[in-house]
Amino acid sequence: MNGNLLIVGAGSYALVAAEIAVNMGCFEKIAFVDDMAKTLKNGIPVVGTTQDLERLAGEYSYVIVAIGNPKVRLSVLDRIQKETTYQIPSLVSPRAYVSSSAKVMRGCVVEPMAVVHSRAILEEGCIISAGAVVNHESTCCRGVHADCNSTVAAYARVPMGTKILSGEVYGDV
């Protein structure tokens, strides 16, 4: 197994995921696949489409899905889990705070300055954006996106695929 990461997506979330992966310092090579774009916004070429995942499996051991739409993100994540041998890591910025008692399941992206507090749970494929707070003993079900500076209140359970808008508080206020 190699230390190479393949990012599914070529938009803004893919760029953020790549920066976090670089800052984590644990991947040797990072590349992108996308079904529509041929390059990223910064000009980096895309190496293929999702149809090329099997072909690229020998060159990349890890894959993360960095697509903003939660239904699409979860669909692609499910397909990868069922049909490929890729390892699916979570990307956690070294500048985020994740409690040692929190659970971050595979396929999540936790951006800089985000907080995942004590005994919080992030199920598969969540995106916790910059400045977002997932408070203690709350659960973000599969595919939740807590956008910048949003808050998941303590003990809240956020349903699958929910997007919490910037500045919004989800749960009992």
Can you give the pLDDT at residue 40? 85
Confidence bin at 2 (pLDDT 50/70/90):
confident
Q: How far apart are CA 91 and CA 110, in angstroms?
A: 6
Lowest mean pLDDT among 19-33, 36-50, 109-123: 36-50
The upper half-sphere exposure of residue 87, i.e. CA atoms within 13 Å in the direction of its Cβ, equals 14
Measure Cα distances from 1 to 28, 36, 86, 105 in Å.
12, 29, 10, 21
166 with 108, same domain: the answer is yes
Res 173 pLDDT > 90: no
Res 26 pLDDT > 70: yes
172 with 101, same domain: the answer is yes
Can you give the pLDDT at residue 172? 72
Name 127's Cβ contacts closer than 8 Å, sequence gap at least 6. Answer: 13, 68, 108, 109, 111, 144, 145, 146
70 with 109, same domain: the answer is no
* Percentage of the residues of the chain whose pLDDT score is greater than 70: 99
Phi, psi dihedral angles at 116 (to 5 degrees) = -120, 105
122 with 163, same domain: the answer is yes
| CATH number of 44's domain | 3.40.50.20
80 with 96, same domain: the answer is no
Can you give the pLDDT at residue 130? 98
48 with 76, same domain: the answer is yes
**Domain coverage including residue 64:** 4-89
Measure Cα distances from 165 to 37, 68, 74, 110, 144 in Å.
26, 13, 19, 16, 11
Can you give the pLDDT at residue 39? 87
Out of 29, 54, 89, a domain closes at 89
Q: Structural domain tally of the chain?
A: 2
| CATH number of 161's domain | 2.160.10.10
116 with 80, same domain: the answer is no
* Percentage of the residues of the chain whose pLDDT score is greater than 90: 93
Average pLDDT over residues 80-90: 96
100 with 159, same domain: the answer is yes
134 with 57, same domain: the answer is no
Can you give the pLDDT at residue 99? 98
Out of 89, 121, 144, a domain closes at 89
Can you give the pLDDT at residue 1? 63
* DSSP-derived 3-state class of residue 121: strand
Res 43 pLDDT > 90: no
Residue 130 in contact with residue 147, Cβ under 8 Å?
Answer: no
